């Protein structure tokens, strides 16, 4: 169902790709938006237990799109160095395809919000307090990944091989 990477020599291992997701702070969420147009939006997220979690409003374009169609894509850029003299970019990124679920069980929402909050502010008491204060308004989402690939610029692949 998912395409094989055309430039397979530049494909990162599963471990390297997962490391990009673990390290990243912002990902680009892609959904099918109004009128069938793609809609992408940056979101803060956490990668935990092989899934991607993020939060958002209980209304709006993103929420409506995910309610109508659970298929999403998610991209994280790990490296994006323009090398002007070579007319290229040394990049490294991960792309996930999967299905999103709007969490409805309060315990799942709290757990997702907690691991997300602790990624960005590792003070458990403060994160827990914020969750308790905002639980009625809190909306969290979970992406179950169906296909995940990582890729880097050929120049980075060559550098890596030379350093072995």
Instruction: Provide the residue ranges of all domains of the chain, joining segments of one domain with +.
Output: 8-163
Q: Specify the pLDDT at position 144.
A: 98
- Topology of the domain covering 8-163: Pnp Oxidase; Chain A (2.30.110)
Q: Looking at the predicted structure, is the pLDDT value of residue 86 above 80?
A: yes
Model confidence band, residue 161 (pLDDT cutoffs 50, 70, 90)? confident
Q: Looking at the predicted structure, is the pLDDT value of residue 8 above 90?
A: no
Q: Looking at the predicted structure, is the pLDDT value of residue 140 above 90?
A: yes
- Percentage of the chain beyond pLDDT 90 is 84
> Which is more confidently placed, 81 or 65?
65
Q: Specify the pLDDT at position 4.
A: 82
Token readout for 43 is: 């979101």
pTM over 0.75: yes
Q: Looking at the predicted structure, is the pLDDT value of residue 141 above 80?
A: yes
DSSP 60: S
Model confidence band, residue 126 (pLDDT cutoffs 50, 70, 90)? very high
Instruction: State the average pLDDT over residues 55-78.
Output: 96
Mean pLDDT in the chain?
94
């Amino acid at each position: 169902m998912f395409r094989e990477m055309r430039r397979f020599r530049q494909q990162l291992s599963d471990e390297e790709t997962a490391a990009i997701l673990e390290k990243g702070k912002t990902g680009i969420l892609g959904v099918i938006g109004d009128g069938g147009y793609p809609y992408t939006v940056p979101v803060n997220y956490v990668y935990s237990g092989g899934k991607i979690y993020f939060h958002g409003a209980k209304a709006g374009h993103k929420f409506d799109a995910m309610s109508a169609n659970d298929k999403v894509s998610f991209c994280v850029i790990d490296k994006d160095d323009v090398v002007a003299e070579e007319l290229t970019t040394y990049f490294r990124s991960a792309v996930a395809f999967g299905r999103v679920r709007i969490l409805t069980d309060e315990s799942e929402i709290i757990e997702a919000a907690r691991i997300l909050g602790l990624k960005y502010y590792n003070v458990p008491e403060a994160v827990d307090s914020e969750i308790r204060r905002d639980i009625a308004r809190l909306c969290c989402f979970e992406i179950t990944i169906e296909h995940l690939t990582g890729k880097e610029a050929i120049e980075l692949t060559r550098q890596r091989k030379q350093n072995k």
